[in-house]
Amino acid sequence: MVGNLSAIGAMSAKNIVTDYLLNLSASADVLALAKVEINLAAIPEGKNVVLKWRGKPVFVRHRTAQEIAEANTVNLDELRDREADADRTQKPEWLVMLGVCTHLGCVPLGEAGEYGGWFCPCHGSHYDISGRIRKGPAPLNMEIPPYEIKDDDKLVIG
């Protein structure tokens, strides 16, 4: 009788632990948000695309040669958060960044502001064409998510 109770207790404990661990694992909808793929060939030069990744907007900009040159001529000593354009991109023509202002989390407007990049209407932060903070209360550049460009035309974020 004691052996039977021990076996039932052990099975119950195993089932409780298994159920608990299964509830901790990510659900299918969460796993689906872990990576986002986009066809870069569909984005014309000089245009932005906004997509959602992990519940946040991601800005993908196909930059022109003029925009790349402009981003590279900025004196890094003038920047609050000193970061070269080459350190923010894997390929100069593609800028991929989280579309969230680093001040209080608002979504900046594209192709706006004093530096031709993004402008946050909430508190007036201005970002350049590389997503670097140039003016306003934001303390940091817009964040670059983990991403990879495959076969020159496929972007995988996450």
pLDDT in tens, 31-40: 556 899 999 9
Contact by Cβ (8 Å): 155, 96 = yes
Q: Which of 89, 82, 85, 96 is nearest to 139 (CA)?
A: 82
Mean pLDDT of the chain: 89
Q: Is 123 a catalytic residue?
A: yes
Q: What is the pTM of this model?
A: 0.79
Query: Which position among 62, 103, 123, 126 bears the catalytic label?
Result: 123
Contact by Cβ (8 Å): 82, 139 = no
Tell me the C-alpha distance between 73 and 157, whole Å: 28
pLDDT on residue 1: 64
Contact by Cβ (8 Å): 97, 147 = no
pLDDT band at 152 (very low <50, low <70, confident <90, very high): confident
As given in the structure block, the two tokens for residue 55 are 């519940």
Tell me the C-alpha distance between 54 and 143, whole Å: 14
As given in the structure block, the two tokens for residue 115 are 């530096």
